[in-house]
Structure 1
């Protein structure tokens, strides 16, 4: 955990690629300006598609070999994360200025308080959305992870799914509010449109039609604290606390 923002973060949104002024080596007391990252939206798309392909191929292959669907999910999902979070981290190191600068991946102690407040907002919104959904459809929405846990036949599977729920907070924030956010902002998209786009992507990628509005609201909350703080820490804490409740709910099945 670090306490001081990097120059690129404290100076506001990252300018579009190509608009970063070159450093003046002859200027007295001047500092070098970090060059724009050499990755963008195509890399973000590739990272997302890689997650989908890896998860599907591994899950399908394991199922074909006779592995149960719950175990297949427990194995396939983290493999897919190698692309979802691995690509942003690798791209920022190899073709950018590092995760702290490119993805705003850093924390401050105050992020815990910000994340807690945002989590309470998400829970309040989720309660309203849940009540409206039940009133309109007569169906209580359940998460995909909860559905998988309902078919678990051993304690280790439930524990593994609970751990996955916690890890997902880091992985998904690095991808959506880290890589996608940075790529869209460098393309010149405004902060509010970027907030909306990343929230929509976050909601749709989960492939949970009955919870899409709830997921969109959660994406808005995480994106808002990302936008206001100009760092990923508060978004990760928000997501982690929300998923912590899901993990506790899963462990109650033991």
Structure 2
């Protein structure tokens, strides 16, 4: 009697995306957090940003001209929010490695690198078209506007580069494609629903209405990395790769090596 060969796992990006709908959902047992945890984290982000802005105003400091407030105002809210997200997984779940799918896998790194490179291309084309439609001044990000016109010393410029390229992507992935994605999975919604919702919320949460459509395009390859691997490693790598050239440009502009 002939034995039918076992079904092989899908290979390639397109095959992996097609296989998403055929694979069963995976829900963490012992996870006692959901959308409330995400709302808490978002509240921490917003309130910390408001507090820093209010502190600068009451002290008479111009955030746009203060190197310290540029760094603190850019870095602190995101890092603090991500830290709260990690704490939530310890207090109400199994910890970040299991709940947020932070398992390390070299295959995921390769997926992240490929989709990150794709994201760079999409970002470049999108920004090129967007700048012609709305103008160069409206195509810049909030961080670029903060740094614009501010002469950052070498140490501050390096810190900003590390944040934009590495620390920021890790923290944002923990919040959106980690905590928020996990909250959606807990409701047993489809992975496609998690992908769409996290992409839209990620773009809207930057509070840059004119750039929301651009941010959606930027977030698509990053979300796909999370979608097809089911782990956060791939989306973190894709996010880092996508932010590298903009971060490097920001560093060179801040140092005066490149024109603004």
Out of 61, 76, 81, the position equivalent to 1:79 is 76
SS of residue paired to 2:199: helix
Query: Which string of whole-angstrom CA distances, capped at 9 and with x for unpartnered residues, describes residues 4-25 of structure 1?
Result: xxxxxxx96333xxxxxxxxxx
Alignment of 1:40 onto 2:34 = yes
> After the TM superposition, which parts of structure 1 deviate over 6 Å for at least 4 consecutive aligned residues?
none
Shift in Å, 1:220 = 1.8
Residues 57/124 of structure 1: CA separation in 2 closer, same or farther (3 Å cut): same
Query: Which string of whole-angstrom CA distances, capped at 9 and with x for unpartnered residues, describes residues 83-133 of structure 1?
Result: 421122111111101112111012212233212211121122223322332
Shift in Å, 1:43 = 1.0
Q: Which segments of 5 or more consecutive residues in structure 2 lack a partner in the other structure? A: 1-22, 256-260
**Which has the higher mean CA deviation after the structures are superposed, 141-150 or 130-139?**
130-139
Residues 250/134 of structure 1: CA separation in 2 closer, same or farther (3 Å cut): closer
Looking at structure 2, the residues matched to 136 and 76 of structure 1 have their Cα atoms a distance apart, in angstroms, of 30
Alignment correspondent of 1:8: none
Residues 193/67 of structure 1: CA separation in 2 closer, same or farther (3 Å cut): same
**Which has the higher mean CA deviation after the structures are superposed, 204-213 or 165-174?**
204-213
Looking at structure 1, the residues matched to 144 and 55 of structure 2 have their Cα atoms a distance apart, in angstroms, of 23
Residues 63/73 of structure 1: CA separation in 2 closer, same or farther (3 Å cut): farther
Alignment of 1:89 onto 2:83 = no
Alignment correspondent of 2:49: 55
TM-score (norm 2): 0.80
Taking the TM superposition and a 5 Å limit, the aligned residue runs for 1:199-210 are 199-210=199-210
Shift in Å, 1:195 = 0.6
Q: Which segments of 5 or more consecutive residues in structure 1 lack a partner in the other structure? A: 1-10, 16-33
- Checking the alignment, whether the CA contact within 8 Å between 2:173 and 2:236 is kept in structure 1 is yes
Residues 137/82 of structure 1: CA separation in 2 closer, same or farther (3 Å cut): closer
SS of residue paired to 2:189: coil
Alignment of 1:65 onto 2:59 = yes
**Which has the higher mean CA deviation after the structures are superposed, 74-83 or 193-202?**
74-83
- Checking the alignment, whether the CA contact within 8 Å between 1:48 and 1:83 is kept in structure 2 is no
Alignment correspondent of 1:147: 145
Residues 106/251 of structure 1: CA separation in 2 closer, same or farther (3 Å cut): same
Alignment correspondent of 1:193: 193
Looking at structure 2, the residues matched to 251 and 241 of structure 1 have their Cα atoms a distance apart, in angstroms, of 16
Decide which structure has greater helix share: 2
Alignment correspondent of 1:159: 158
Looking at structure 1, the residues matched to 30 and 56 of structure 2 have their Cα atoms a distance apart, in angstroms, of 41
- Checking the alignment, whether the CA contact within 8 Å between 1:199 and 1:220 is kept in structure 2 is yes
Looking at structure 2, the residues matched to 163 and 184 of structure 1 have their Cα atoms a distance apart, in angstroms, of 30
Alignment correspondent of 1:5: none
TM-score (norm 1): 0.81
Shift in Å, 1:226 = 0.6
The CA RMSD over aligned residues, in Å, is 2.0
Shift in Å, 1:59 = 2.6
Looking at structure 1, the residues matched to 126 and 74 of structure 2 have their Cα atoms a distance apart, in angstroms, of 27
Looking at structure 2, the residues matched to 79 and 130 of structure 1 have their Cα atoms a distance apart, in angstroms, of 27
Looking at structure 1, the residues matched to 26 and 35 of structure 2 have their Cα atoms a distance apart, in angstroms, of 15
